[in-house]
Amino acid sequence: MELEKILSKLSPEEQVFVSGLIDKDPLTGVYNRRKFDRDIELVVAMSDRMNRGTSLLILDIDHFKRFNDQYGHQKGDQVLREVTRAIENSLRYYDQIHLYRYGGEEFVVIIPDITPTDSFNIGDRLRKNVKEACGITISIGISHYRESSDDLQSLLNNADKALYEAKRRGRDQVVIFEES
């Protein structure tokens, strides 16, 4: 049975509650990949309509597998929650609604109506604040819809390429994708 059919049988309050369970990552409390996949299409469509740019930041905790192997998964889960809080505390209130746990130790932030330079500054603030609050480092790749990406797939691919470039450069870095 489709999710919409199931939700339609619930009261509005129950719909909100169940949607929250479906769309939130139970460990960190932020939105999950499922919600991201729906939201990114909407944000990009709005960006087209408003003729403004949108940045996509992919954040990855550096050497997280090694951390989990050394300290155990319970400590790893604690670190994921701490990193989430540090990211949330570093974002403007209205950007916190676009924070997602993308998978494992990766997070994604969508920032609408922003320039590449401003998104780099936000990424660098996130990187510094996570390091200060949690004692670990993150790498961040940024792609900008309008400047370096002209469709949803290239936005995702280019942010991923920038993330790998940040790791290649030694981690604990922010890199904006640029055409070579």
Please report which confidence band the pLDDT of residue 49 belongs to, taking 50, 70 and 90 as the band edges: confident
Instruction: Summarize pLDDT for 105-114 with one digit per residue, the tens.
Output: 999 999 998 9
Instruction: Summarize pLDDT for 65-76 with one digit per residue, the tens.
Output: 998 999 999 999
Active site residue 2: no
pTM above 0.85, yes or no: yes
Calculate the CA dihedral of residues 32, 147, 50, 124 and round it to 10 degrees: 50
- From 105, 132, 178, 179, the catalytic residue: 105
| Contacts made by residues 78-85, CB under 8 angstroms, sequence distance 24+ | 79/134, 79/136, 80/27, 80/28, 80/105, 81/27, 81/28, 81/29, 82/133, 82/134, 83/107, 83/130, 83/134, 83/136, 83/138, 84/28, 84/29, 84/30, 85/133
Tokens representing 46 are: 């709005």
State residue 72's pLDDT score. Answer: 94
177 touches 158 (CB < 8 A): yes
Indicate the range of 81-90, 95-104, 130-139 predicted with least confidence. Answer: 95-104
The fold of the 30-176 domain, in CATH, is Alpha-Beta Plaits (3.30.70)
158 touches 49 (CB < 8 A): no
Domains of the chain, residue spans: 30-176
The H-assigned helical ranges of 135-178 are 152-168
The pLDDT > 90 percentage for the chain reads 66
